[in-house]
Structure formats: structure tokens, C-alpha cells
Amino acid sequence: MKVLVCGGAGYIGSNMTAMLREAGHEPVVYDNLSSGHQKAVKTADFVKGDLADFDMLVKILTYKQIDAVMHFAAFIEVSESVENPLEFYRNNVCNTHTLLAAMEKCNIDKFVFSSSAAVYGTPEKTPITEDAATNPINPYGQTKLAVERMCHCQSQTGRLKYAALRYFNAAGAGADGSLGEDHKLESHLIPLAIEAALGKKDEIKIFGVDYPTDDGTCIRDYIHIEDLCSAHLLALEKLNYENELIYNLGNGKGYSVQQVIETVKKVSGKNFRVVNDLRRAGDPPILTADATKAIEGLGWEVKYPELEAIIETAWKWHSENPNGYAD
Ligand code: UFG
């Protein structure tokens, strides 16, 4: 298939683009480079463009004869979403509306959407199944849920087939060593701990040590980037005969912030300062996935079930590329 990868210069989108190519598809990356890196696009045509630009989208979808769209181009920082909710709704919801309208105009009906565990808010029980209540506790999660609902309504018309993939914590780097995680403003735990291990930062802060967990720190479910992407490929294929797919993508295993930091120390062989800090707004104590539906429904196999193996790939990329794609 010819696949338009919106946000294909970003962390997840660039890995997806590489995997699409390897699987025999023809990816075309569409990215405004507001946070992505053109250097991360290695095996696809690249078009610099904005999702707000309906006419440009229609041109690209038509000219490139696109069959399906994958959409990774969204703002992701939860705390920023609390500061600037309108920006989040504009980029994550309004621009996705523009993209879906352009697809409709071009009669393209296959859509794979990056949703998030953030749609669940603070879950009543973990691991979370897809039928759990969706009560996002921040604007970021609300924008992801709003897009899921928009897709659902559009799918009811028969003009859209979509997969909403609810990511838990994407982590690690691609096996060939060429693609990694390089956010302009880094806020994620694993890359920040690695920066501390590399001596680029003096310390890592733990946001909250009084959560109701064994060691008092938050528990998350880390899923390797290649495992995340392989589920997208399977979902794309399944859209040939299904209209509406919703899956959790996680490992099903939780690790605390403290455990992640200890694992980064072990893998890197470096010690660094760890400072206990206050809770960060909008953090649920525990988020772990029940991914049985994706495993059974897609035939999805997780290659990296262990945190240590995931962190090893991240450490390798960051230590070989200490300045990210700027090298
Ligand atoms: N954390 C620290 N110190 C840091 C950074 C993070 O203690 O310097 C903690 C956070 O408070 C949280 C955990 O580490 O408890 C993981 O935080 P991340 O920022 O790495 O990831 P999140 O779980 O907050 O966010 C991820 C995605 C979001 C998505 C969310 C929903 O990045 O886009 O999962 O599951 F909304």
C-alpha cells in the first residue's frame, strides 16, 4: 500500500516509516518538522507540510495515489496540554478533522490513529482493558478521545475504516541503531535518565514518592518502539476487512520510576544523582495494559517483554548519538 505517514519525522512515525518500507509498503512522510527531524526520514519520500493545510493534503493524497493514512502528528506533553489547551485542541483535534476531511474528499478510507492510554484517565483497575471507562484527566487525553469519537462517527457513515491504537509508554530505539528518541524538549523518564547517565544532566528527579505503590513511585508499562510499530502494520492489514479497531498496546507489565532508574544505571554502568521531588500534575499512579485483545485480534507478538532489553536499545542509540539527530 502507499501510506501517508503524518508525523513520520518524529520518534514513532520515523520507526513506522522504516518498518512499512521493510514490509514492502510505500510510505510517504508528511511532517511540518515542528518537532520531528528530517534526518530521521531515511527510506521514504518526504513532504514538508502542515496538517492544517487542506489543499496541500488533497494534492499529496491525490498526486501520491495514497491508499491509507497513519497519523502520528500530535502534541504529546501532558503538562503543556494543561497550560495551552486551545493549542492542543487546534493541533490534535482540528488538524485531524482537516486530515479526515481531505481523506474523505479523496475517497481514502483507511486510517491508523495514534491514541493513548491517557484516554482512560485514572483507571479503576489495572491492567486496563479496552472496555474500561474513558475519563481522561488532562486536555491531552481529551483530545485523543475526541479524535477517537470523530473516527467512530465517520466510520458509521461507511466512509472511514480506522484503528485507534492506545499506546502505553513507547520506549527504546530501532534494532539497526539508526532511529531513536530525540524530542526537542525532553520530558520522558527513560531518555532523561539516560541523559543523566551520559553526564548531560546533573540529576534525575522522581516526581512523587508517595504514590500507593510498593516503592511509592508511579508504575508504567513500557513498550518497545518496534513492538508498537509491528501492531500498526497488523492493524493496517486488518482494515482490509474490518471497519473499526481499538487496541491497547502495552507489555502488560508495570515498572516503577525507581525500577526504571535502577535499570538505566545497570545497563549504562553509570551512577548518577536521583532527587525526590513533588508529584507532577496529571500523573495517574499506575497505568498498565491488558493487551490480550491486540495479541489475539491482530496476532501481535511482543519481541521485547523485558524492560532491561528495551533500555539497552535506548542506551545504545543515545550513547552513539549523544546530540540526537544533530550529530
Ligand atoms: N517521571 C519522573 N521524572 C522525570 C520524568 C518522568 O519521575 O524526569 C515520571 C513521571 O512522573 C511518570 C513516569 O516517570 O510517573 C513516566 O513519565 P513519562 O513522562 O516518561 O511518561 P508518561 O507516562 O507521563 O506519558 C506517556 C506518554 C504520554 C501519554 C501517557 C499516557 O508520553 O504521551 O504516557 O499513558 F499521555
C-alpha cell at 20: 512499512
Confidence of residue 57 (pLDDT cuts 50, 70, 90): very high
> In the chain, where are the structural domains located?
2-171+222-249, 189-221+252-326
Q: Same topology for domains 2-171+222-249 and 189-221+252-326, yes or no?
A: no
pLDDT tens-digit series, residues 137-162: 999 999 999 999 999 999 999 999 99
Q: Is residue 177 scored above 90 in pLDDT?
A: no
pLDDT at 327 over 80: no
Place of cell 513506522: 16
d(CA 46, CA 114): 20
- Give the C-alpha separation, 42 to 14, whole Å: 8
Range 2-171+222-249 has CATH code 3.40.50.720: yes
**CB-defined site of ligand 1, < 6 Å:** 76, 78, 116-118, 140, 168-169, 187-189, 192, 204-207, 218, 220, 257, 280, 283, 287
Q: What are residue 70's DSSP bridge partners?
A: 5, 112
pLDDT at 282 exceeding the cut of 90: no
The atom of ligand 1 lying closest to the CA of 192 is 8
- Give the atom of ligand 1 at the shortest distance from the alpha carbon of 204: 8
Mean pLDDT calculated for residue range 95-119: 98
State the average pLDDT over residues 164-192: 93
Closest-lying ligand 1 atom to the alpha carbon of residue 118: 31
**Atom from ligand 1 closest to the CA of residue 77:** 33
Read off the pLDDT of each residue in 184-190 and give the average, rounded to a whole number.
91
Residue nearest to atom 5 of ligand 1 (CA): 189
- The helix-helix angle for 189-197 and 257-268 (nearest 10°) equals 40
Peptide bond connecting 285 to the previous residue in cis, omega within 30 degrees of 0? no
Spacing, Cα 46 to ligand 1 middle (Å): 30
CA 285 to chain CA centroid, Å, is 20
User: Mean pLDDT across the chain, nearest whole number?
Assistant: 96
pLDDT over 70, % of the chain: 100
pLDDT in tens, 247-261: 999 999 999 999 999
**Cα–ligand 1 centroid distance for 188 (angstroms):** 5
pLDDT number for residue 184 = 82
Ligand 1: which residue has its CA nearest to atom 35? 117
Q: Using CA positions, which residue lies closest to atom 1 of ligand 1?
A: 189
CB-based burial of residue 275 (10 Å sphere; 0-12 exposed, 13-18 middle, 19+ buried)?
Answer: exposed
Q: At residue 326, does pLDDT exceed 90? A: no
Task: Give the pTM.
Answer: 0.97
Instruction: Name the residue type at position 29.
Output: V
Residues 6+ apart with CB under 8 A from 288: 126, 127, 128, 168, 219, 220, 221, 250, 252, 253, 254
Domain 189-221+252-326 has CATH 3.30.2350.10: no
**What's the gap in Å between 16 CA and the centre of ligand 1?**
22
Beta-carbon contacts of residue 251 (< 8 Å; ≥ 6 apart): 168, 221, 222, 223, 227, 289, 291, 302, 304, 305
What mean pLDDT do residues 39-50 have?
Answer: 95
Write down the pLDDT at residue 87: 98
Query: Left if phi > 0, otherwise alpha if psi is -120 to 50, otherwise beta: which for 252?
Result: left
**CA 35 from centroid of its chain's CA atoms:** 14
Give 188's Cβ-side CA count (13 Å radius). Answer: 18
Q: Are strands 110-116 and 161-167 parallel, antiparallel or unpaired?
A: parallel
User: Which among 116, 84, 305, 314 has a CA at the least distance from the CA of 197?
Assistant: 314
CB 184 within 8 A of CB 190: no
Cell triple for 15: 520507526
CA 61 centroid distance within chain: 23
Q: What is the distance between the alpha carbons of residues 17 and 40, in angstroms, rounded to a whole number?
A: 10
- Res. 325: pLDDT tops 70: yes
Q: State the Cα–Cα distance between residues 243 and 149, nearest whole angstrom.
A: 14
**88 alpha carbon – ligand 1 mean position (Å):** 18
Catalytic residues: 140
